[in-house]
Amino acid sequence: MNNSCQTKDDRDIRPSAVTETLDPLRERSLGTSMRWLPRGQSGLWLAGAFIIALLVATPLIAVVYLALFPTENIWPHLASTMLPRYLKNTGILMLGVGVGVTLIGVSAAWVVTMCRLPGKRFFEWAMLLPMAVPAYIVAYVYTDLLEYAGPFQRLLREIFGWQSARDYWFPDIRTKGGAILVLSLTLYPYVYMLARAAFLAQSVCVLEAARVLGRSAWNSFVTVALPLARPAIVVGVVIALMETLNDFGTIDFFAVHTLTAGIFNVWLGMGNAGGAAQIALTMLAVVIVLIVAERYSRRRQRFHDTTNRFQELPGYELGPVAKFFALAVCVLPIVLGFVIPSLVLIYYSVGYFDQSWTSDFFEYAGNSLLVAGLATFVAVGCAVFLGYALRLFPQPLLRLCIRMASVGYAVPGAVLAIGVLIPFARFDNAVDAVMRETFGISTGLLLSGTVFAIVFAYAVRFMAVSYGSIEAALGKVRPSMDDAARTLGESPWGTLKRIHFPMVRGGILAAAVLVFVDAMKELPATLILRPFNFETLATHVYQFAKDEMIEQAALGALTIVIVGVVPVVMLSRAISRSRPGHGSASSPH
């Protein structure tokens, strides 16, 4: 192979937003920033960064403490009765979803990236569309379509003359298998976008070398392209599994008793916060295992390119049969994961428009916009502060604290809700007791059971989403820009405002959009933390669908889907531009 081939070395092939770090030369350059800062400003940036990191880590600390020191310890009862079933169901669900998202995501990424296919440009971004539809909405739609009284089985009975369920067999969608199918259809885009980015980043020479050595397109994929992309694929699968752990609407509707369902059952059903925290700690252990497994799997899977010359991707020609199956690989996930749910929601929204377009709908939409908007402002603002503080002080301790503050996305919403509500409730009780004793008045709920609690939980959970995008954007600003600003007497705040902010505005906007859409869809944390009589679009849809009234909730569900389409387009454009040399040589279509 010539000198342009990929070889094992020091750079991870995953997207820069996931793996980009400061190189030693830049760290030495940025490390000199501390000398230029006045003492007061230096303390402000450092103290602010540590305080934000501590606040974000507080919910996790609270969960661990409450689980280890519960008021009423029911762990022996949980461990001997309910916990084994929760763990078994969670394991089966994660295994099934892991296999499903891998098969769909990797095969679609390879076909769209490397093969000549009709409608290739359409499939490039359309494969991400199911990401816009929350899994619980897909679950509600397919249950309505496929249940015994639904239109699909009614049509079958009319065609074949069947009179009752005893006359034929039809699979039940409300099972673990149904939950695996629904979650796989909505979560495979995580694997698809990372696998496609990895395939786009691969040098053509290694694929050409494999073909020269007599390998077929399939053998080249299995023996060359797939191993090179494995680190990115593993990351996508781990993210999908974390989202599976976080899901509540689907598993609750399908009556699958997982760890997430256990938290709601023990806390709200049995009234035992300590037991719920212990199940939450078990979920945290599962998350840690996933993260460690992901890190371990790619510990030596690092590659770099020794050339700046990137050719066109090969664009394999497919025969009629292979082309049919390739189109099926792309079309079926889009149709099943996005088109059918969207058409059903549109149909119900039009048919029940008068019942849905009410003042309540505007109230729920306003509540969703309020909490999602506030959470976006807080999460993005804190992420900018943390990212710039680390740029000023690239110290190991600060970096560690920021990394800890960025693990919220890996924590399921139900776990995070416990970690938020318990310390907030204790703070409210303590303040109320002091005010009663001192002034004879009751302060009531100041933090828990308020919009502030929801916003705080959202900001903690989605901090990693915003920080990753902003860190990548800041990393592309040359250190010489900081040096020039300091030479001209500009303060750190002035440098951020006048120099960095205009240059990273695109990264900040991308972070804001992603956080906003994720906050609009969040269900488990909202169900636990919302104030009385406070409904968002997500909880509104959940309540109606749970009562078998998906028609009345269709407009709210469709609104969530429409909002979710925006980041899909942004992600697709970013992935398409991720291949080096994109501007000069694009893949054939």
Lowest mean pLDDT segment, chosen from 145-149, 462-466, 523-527: 462-466
- pLDDT surpasses 80 at 447: yes
**Mean pLDDT on 190-209:** 73
Query: For residues 162 and 156, what is the distance between their CA atoms, to the nearest angstrom?
Result: 8
Task: Give 14's pLDDT tier (boundaries 50, 70, 90).
Answer: very low
Q: Helices (H) and strands (E) in the chain — how many of each?
A: 31, 2
Share of the chain above pLDDT 70, in %: 81
Query: For residues 524 and 416, what is the distance between their CA atoms, to the nearest angstrom?
Result: 9
Task: Give 486's pLDDT tier (boundaries 50, 70, 90).
Answer: confident
- For residue 257, the SS3 value is coil
- pLDDT surpasses 90 at 373: yes
Residue matched to tokens 């970013």: 574
Are 121 and 165 spatial neighbours (Cβ–Cβ below 8 Å)?
no
Considering 155-159, 305-309, 446-450, 482-486, the range whose residues carry the highest mean pLDDT is 155-159
- Return the half-sphere exposure (C-beta side, CA atoms, 13 A cut-off) of residue 92: 15
Region for 533 from its dihedrals, namely left if φ exceeds 0, alpha if ψ lies in -120 to 50, beta otherwise: left
- pLDDT surpasses 90 at 188: yes
pLDDT at 302: 52
Q: Which residues pair with 7 in a beta bridge?
A: 304
pLDDT at 378: 93
**Mean pLDDT on 206-217:** 60
Query: For residues 462 and 469, what is the distance between their CA atoms, to the nearest angstrom?
Result: 12
Share of the chain above pLDDT 90, in %: 25
- Beta 6-8 vs 303-305: how paired, if at all? antiparallel
- pLDDT surpasses 60 at 219: yes
Query: For residues 580 and 200, what is the distance between their CA atoms, to the nearest angstrom?
Result: 8
Q: Token pair of 576, please?
A: 């398409």
pLDDT at 369: 93
pLDDT at 574: 67
pLDDT, the chain, mean: 80
pTM over 0.75: yes
Query: For residues 474 and 378, what is the distance between their CA atoms, to the nearest angstrom?
Result: 18
**Mean pLDDT on 195-209:** 68
Closest Cα to residue 195, out of 565, 564, 578, 472?
578
Query: For residues 565 and 585, what is the distance between their CA atoms, to the nearest angstrom?
Result: 28
Considering 115-119, 235-239, 368-372, the range whose residues carry the highest mean pLDDT is 368-372
Q: Token pair of 110, please?
A: 């390879």
- pLDDT surpasses 90 at 38: no
Lowest mean pLDDT segment, chosen from 88-102, 311-325, 536-550: 311-325
pLDDT at 209: 61
pLDDT at 24: 40
Q: Which residue has the higher pLDDT, 92 or 410?
A: 92
**Mean pLDDT on 11-38:** 41
pLDDT at 223: 66
Q: Which residue has the higher pLDDT, 135 or 588?
A: 135
Query: For residues 400 and 54, what is the distance between their CA atoms, to the nearest angstrom?
Result: 12
pLDDT at 477: 79
Lowest mean pLDDT segment, chosen from 279-283, 412-416, 475-479: 475-479
Task: Give 7's pLDDT tier (boundaries 50, 70, 90).
Answer: very low
